[in-house]
Chain A
């Protein structure tokens, strides 16, 4: 195949990256196969499941519905890169997901965590309804969602009760 390609330069998890990529390559495949960030998963490739969620310029997007060339010049974060610089929010979410069994196979978990993090940054005390609404674009085939909503609500409560420095 005569694949057309372009050179792109972007930052991924804080590090500058420059690569030649086929223009038809989507961002999540670029992150997984070219850069080895396999934390973002690939499910439906049509925007429905949210397994491929990554942050593009600090906002959640579907990694399967962005071309790598469209991320040229942007800042991308995957689950691998988000844990350290958010005042402990992601670490709290990860811990709570673990202790409340909010993950089983883990396929949806990186996307769930990134969406939950975005919600709690904008709305530190969401209702259960607001949590469900915000996570409605992330499918989980294992947990039945209850434990995931519990975990996000528990983190919101805990962080509200013990404010961090």
Chain B
């Protein structure tokens, strides 16, 4: 099918974009990479009166190193992040995850801001930002606010973004050199949205995991943390018995929607398989 009729504006700079959004926010839609929005328009599942194309705003394409964190402009594309040595070195979790997003031609257009604003429950970047306890900058003509990833995702395709706000940047704390970062998922075919996945960061000393942040994707109406499993993993040394306990526990923390293709029990099983695989890998690679 073809997209419905709409108007189109390409503001020259960020202030102009914010003014347009302030005036038309409710009936307008931002377009960044268009890799989620255009399929929706082509299938007439969305009908904005106006597209505000922010795709060329250079202000949103910066990648900067701050004090203890990395700040990623909202318009950086999946391919930009995949190619960045800074991301590979400082945020290996993100680097691993990007390889699972779609296909090269989609990664050449799709942006981090668009992915997060879309809030697909199986989005890789959302899960990474939650695991890394990231903060998102939401900017409008009314001002700027920072929202934690944990508060940003509110349901399937639902976020804290107001209609006049742009997600301008993502701030992710960088970890110490010993931080473990593992991203893994199961998808039907390469590049498909995952049936289940996980993003884990932790530190290991004396055989025990500390500072565990474990985010799940594809197993609830949004990306979620698994707090009970995180607590169990920090409660004592990592061994086979603890791994099996964690696998059992995490199935209960997942809350997959009813889906005839992939029933909830199947997704719960998958997230357990992924966790077992991840923890065994940590155990095998642990020093000493």
Contact = CB atoms under 8 A, between A and B. Distances in A.
Given A62-B109, A70-B55, A2 B5 contact: yes
Given A23-B6, A45-B1, A67 B105 contact: no
Contact of B6 (A24, A46, A65, A133): A24
Interface stretch (B37-45, B159-167, B277-285): B37-45
Contacts of B38: 26, 47, 64-67
Measured as residues with beta carbon below 8 angstroms from the partner, the interface class of chain B is 20 to 34
Interface string A131-151: 011101110000000000000
Nearest to A135: B103
B192 to A, nearest CB: 9
Contacts of B51: 23, 67
A46 to B, nearest CB: 4
A9 to B, nearest CB: 14
A118 B104 contact: yes
Given A64-B38, A137-B105, A24 B191 contact: no
Interface residues of A, number: 35
Given A24-B41, A45-B43, 6 more contacts: A4-B6, A50-B105, A66-B34, A70-B53, A115-B105, A136-B191
Nearest to A63: B105
A46 B34 contact: no
Given A23-B51, A70-B53, A137 B34 contact: no
Interface string B17-38: 0000000000000010011001
Consensus secondary structure, chain A interface = mixed
A137 B105 CA distance: 8
A3 interface: yes
Contacts of B191: 136-137
A31 interface: no
B142 interface: no
B133 to A, nearest CB: 31
Contacts of B79: 59
Contact of B39 (A4, A24, A46, A66): A46
Given A62-B105, A137-B104, A70 B42 contact: no
Interface in A48-100: 50, 53, 56, 59-62, 64-67, 69-70, 72
Contacts of B106: 47, 62, 65, 137
A1 interface: yes
Nearest to A72: B10
Given A60-B108, A61-B109, A115-B104, A70 B7 contact: no
A133 B190 contact: yes
A159 interface: no
B8 interface: yes
